[in-house]
Chains A and B, each alone.
Chain A
Amino acid sequence: QVQLVQSGTGVKRPGASVKISCEASGYTFTSYAMHWVRQAPGQRLEWMGWINAGSGHTKYSEKFQGRVTITRDTSASTAYMEVSSLRSEDTAMYYCARDLIPGGYELWGMDYWGQGSLVTVSS
Chain B
Amino acid sequence: QSALTQPPSVSGSPGQSVTISCTGTSSDVGRYNRVSWYQQPPGTAPKLIIFGVSDRPSGVPDRFSGSKSGNTASLTISGLQAEDEADYYCGSSASNSAWVFGGGTKLTVL
Which chain A residues have a beta carbon within 8 Å of chain B's beta carbons?
Answer: 35, 37, 44-47, 50, 59, 61-63, 95, 97, 100, 105-111, 113-116
Q: Which residues from A are CB-within-8-Å of B64? A: none
**Which residues in window 1-18 of B have CB below 8 A to A?**
1, 3
Cross-chain contact A109 with B48 (CB below 8 angstroms): yes
User: Within the complex, what minimum Cβ distance (angstroms) separates B96 from chain A?
Assistant: 8
Among the listed stretches B67-75, B76-84, B99-107, which one makes contact with chain A, having 4 or more residues with CB under 8 Å of it? B99-107
Total number of A-B contacts with CB less than 8 angstroms? 69
- Which applies to chain A's interface (DSSP): helix, strand, loop or mixed? loop
Q: Is the CB of B48 within 8 A of A116?
A: no
Q: Collect the chain A residues with CB atoms within 8 Å of residue B100's CB.
A: 47
User: What residues of chain B lie closer than 8 Å to A114, measured between beta carbons?
Assistant: 45
Residues of A within 8 A of B103 (CB): 44
CB atoms of A116 and B89 under 8 A apart: no
Chain A residues with CB below 8 A from B57, complex form: 100, 111
User: Which chain B residue has the least Cβ–Cβ distance from A60?
Assistant: B98
